[in-house]
Every structure is written in structure tokens, then in C-alpha cells.
Structure 1
Amino acid sequence: MPSYDYPFNERIRTLLRLEDLFLKVLHNLEGDHEFLHHNVLLSTFQILDIIERAELKMDLLQELDRQKMVMNHLRGNPSIEEQALDELIADIDNAAHPLRNIAGKLGQPLRDNEWLMSIKQRTVIPGGVCEFDLPSYHYWLGLSSERRKHDISIWISPLIPLYNAIRIILHILRGSGATSRMTAINGAYQQMLGGAKPAQMLRVETSDDTPCFPEVSANKYAINIRFNSLDNAQRPRPCDTDIDFSLTLCNL
């Protein structure tokens, strides 16, 4: 089912952006074409830009420690499967330990690589990484795919603990809420929010044959969802039919 995540705060927004970039890095790295590996580096440079502006390491470690404490308090609960709980706690430990062992700033080994940073500087210029601009990069892209994959794996290895921590935290977040079946009348849905602990993210899931996508406007007080479709010119147009969907309010 197509799913759409909508973050309620900048912290979750940053984690979702990083998750999206890491998934692109890992997916393109599996391929062999030089253009795919070029895209790996472009996404990696975007990851560096994001983590440059955020104090992620301490925030992620604190959240992992807090989630481990929450999970340990669930031991003995008859509605919780002990084996699944043990596996989740082990995943948290496996994510926290390598992240805790990183010395210095996240991604610093990549910033210390002058060659990679010379490429990064050129990527902000439209068409700035042509062969006449960066002949050494053009030469590297012409090497074997095995050599490029080996090099990239070394370069991104300092960032993998960050990805693993983000992955487990978002996994817990997405599984934290109860899912409800809703209907958007004439493509529109509104819900008022209350409670002492506001949601941090909402998830909207639709069936595979739904010809619309949701646009969400939300804060700690209310949710507004408007389903739109695309016309032949790829312009959004409001759906005027009833749309069934699943809604999950998530909170760590």
C-alpha cells in the first residue's frame, strides 16, 4: 500500500530526510553503472549538508537509550511477546554501540577527504562536474564498478551507524500508533487533535488502486487532509470522490 509520512516537528522531518537519502545511497550503490554511483555521491553530499546543521549524535543516542528503557519496562507484560521484545532491544543496542564509538563530528572523515570535497564544491554549480571540470572524477567514474563500489563503501562507512540509528528509531515511531480506517468525504478529511502528548508524525496509507495522493496540513491542534490527482499536465486537481484510507498518529 502506498504510504505517506507527515512529520509534525523539525526533528522528525530531519530523520525522514536522512532516511530517504540513505535509501537512495544504498539502492544506487547496488547497481553497476557509473551514473548510479555518481548519484550515490550526490546523495551522500546532501547527507553531509544536513548533519552539518544538526546535533544528531547526542539526540539519537538519548532517544535510543530512552527507547531501551521503555522496552525493558514492558518485560512481563502478557500482551507483549518476549522474543520480539528481546530482538528489538538487541537492535537498539546494535544501533547505539557503533554510534557511541564515533569520535568527533559525524561524517568528519568524508570532510577530511580533499578530493571528495572538491567534487562536492562543484556539485552546487549546474553541470559543474563535467569531465573538463573534474578530469580525476571522470577517470574514477570510468574505473570498474567493483573498484567504485569498494571506494564508496569505505567512504560511507562512517555514516552507516547514523543510518542504523535513524532506521530503528523511525521503525519504533511508525509502529507506535493505532491505525484507524477513515474516509475523506469528497476527497477532504479533518480531525481535531487533543491530549497531553501531541503526535510527532502521521501516516496515511491508501490502496494500490487509489488514483489520488494526500496533501497534509497539520499541527498539534488539527489535521487537514486533501486528496488530489494529477491531470495530463501533471497539475494537482482535487478529488471529488470519497477516498478510503488508513490513518496512524505516531509518537515516540
Structure 2
Amino acid sequence: MILYEYPFNERIRTYLRLEHLFRRLGQLVPRETPLDHHYALTTLFEVMDVAARADLKSDVLKDLEKQKQALNGYRGNPAISEAALDEVVARLDACFSALNQQPGKAGHALTENEWLMSIRSRAVIPGGTCEFDLPAYYAWQHKDADTRRHDLQQWATTLAPLAESIHLLLRMLRDSGAPQKVMAVGGQFQQNLPQGRSFQLLRLRIDPALDLIPEISGNRLIVSVRLMRQEADGRLQAGGDDAPLEMTLCA
């Protein structure tokens, strides 16, 4: 099954973008080749760009505290394991403390590294990191893989508190929803959302054998899915067949 996720607000959209970048970084850093490590470095710069939003850090801290307060409300409930509750609350506390202790925005410490910032300013230019533009960077790419990997891990460490916080928040958000089987009739599905609940994320699973691509739209009142089929020339055309979907609404 292919999983598609659709955020209902800008905050979750930013979290998902950062999670995507952190996953890519986690795959690229352990590799060996200079090209992989070049893209690991440009991914670091992308994280810094996304995390440059002034209120991102405060949003993450507020969400961590909100989740902690919600979990503490379950204390004394006989259906809830106190040990499991303590473990999750401890993780929330650890993420909150680590992120709160970092000065400024995520990756702020990296902005003080003039060499990295010279690469960052050239990386946005097509072909801007050639050896004649950045000979010092070219020399770094010729160092052994262990040296490059150590440098990348050291630079990425400054972003670790943000990465761990977002990973935990998104995992808890995803766990809040229960999947339901629905049917897209004639390639269309629409559902009114329950009043009084504020959903933040839609998760949609679809069988890849159907060869259909969902176009999702939604707000706090309604969610709509239109199934499309990609033609040989790359254009998307509406798929008119009935198709089963698995949908999860996460609040």
C-alpha cells in the first residue's frame, strides 16, 4: 500500500517537510561517495531554510508541552499503564529541555561557520559548487569517507533536538487516528468532518496495483479525494472507476 499524508494546517506541513529532510539526511550521511555527502550537506541547508521560520521553535515547544499535559490527564486511569505513560512523558520532557536549551533558531550554530556558509551561498546557484568556485570544498570532497562522515555528523548534531522533537510529535499525532475503509465511487470520495474536533492530518493508503494517484484537498469542515490516472505523456486524467481506500484522520 502507498501511504499519502495531507496536512490540514501550515504547522503540520512544516513538520512533515522537516521530517522528509531529516530522513533523507539520515540515509545520505552513512554513505561513502563525495556526491552523496554533497547532497547530505545541501539537505542540511534545506533544513536550515525550512527551520528559519521565526515561530517554529516556539510552536514545537508548545506542542511538546500540550502533549505532556494531555498525557498527564490520563494518570489514575486503570486502563492506562503508568510505566508506559512515564516513559512517554520523560521523552517529551527530554525533547523539550534539549530544544529549549538551544539558542536561536535550529541550525543557528552552523551560521557561524564561514566555510559552510560560503558553500550554502553557492549551492543555490546551478553548478555553483564547482572546484574553481570553491576549491576548499573540492578538497574536502577528496578526503576519506570517514572524515567527511564525521564532519557531517558533527554539523547535523546541532539539528538533532529539533529532529527528535518533530519525530516524536508526528508519531504521537499519527497514533491518535484509527484507520477506516472507504470507497471512492467513480473515482471521487468526499466526507464531512465531525464538528467540535480539529483534525491536523489525513493519512490515505491506496493499493499501487490500482495505478491511481489521489489529489487530496480539505479543511476543518470537509475532506475530498479525487483519483487520477497518469497517461503516457505524463498528464493526469480523472479515473472514473470505484476504488477502495484506507483513510485515517488524526487530531
Alignment of 1:194-213 (within 5 A): 194-213=194-213
CA RMSD of aligned residues (A): 1.5
Does 2:42 correspond to 1:42? Answer: yes
Gaps of 5+ in 2: none
Distance 1:240 1:83 in 2: 50
- Residue aligning to 2:186: 186
1:20-58 CA-partner distances (Å, limit 9, x unpaired): 111111111121111111111111111111111232222
Alignment of 1:82-93 (within 5 A): 82-93=82-93
Q: What's the offset of the Cα at 1:238?
A: 2.1
SS at match of 1:30: coil
Q: What's the offset of the Cα at 1:178?
A: 2.2
Gaps of 5+ in 1: none
Distance 1:200 1:220 in 2: 9
Distance 1:163 1:190 in 2: 34
- Residue aligning to 1:215: 215
1:148-188 CA-partner distances (Å, limit 9, x unpaired): 01001111111010000000011111111222111111211
Task: Tell me which amino acid in the other structure corresponds to 1:55.
Answer: D
Please, which moves more after superposition, 196-205 or 229-238? 229-238
Q: What's the offset of the Cα at 1:193?
A: 2.0
Query: So what's the TM-score if we normalise by structure 2?
Result: 0.94
- Residue aligning to 1:155: 155
Moved over 6 A (4+): none
Counterparts in 2 of 1:246 and 1:80: CA distance versus 1, 3 Å: farther
Distance 1:226 1:185 in 2: 10
Please, which moves more after superposition, 74-83 or 153-162? 74-83
Distance 2:211 2:129 in 1: 39
CA contact (8 A) 2:119 2:134 kept: yes
- Residue aligning to 2:23: 23
SS at match of 1:15: helix
Distance 1:210 1:32 in 2: 37
Q: What's the offset of the Cα at 1:9?
A: 0.9
CA contact (8 A) 2:195 2:221 kept: no
SS at match of 2:4: strand
Q: What's the offset of the Cα at 1:204?
A: 0.5
Aligned length: 251
Distance 1:53 1:104 in 2: 11
- Residue aligning to 2:115: 115
SS at match of 1:247: strand
Please, which moves more after superposition, 183-192 or 234-243? 234-243
SS at match of 2:169: helix
SS at match of 1:75: coil
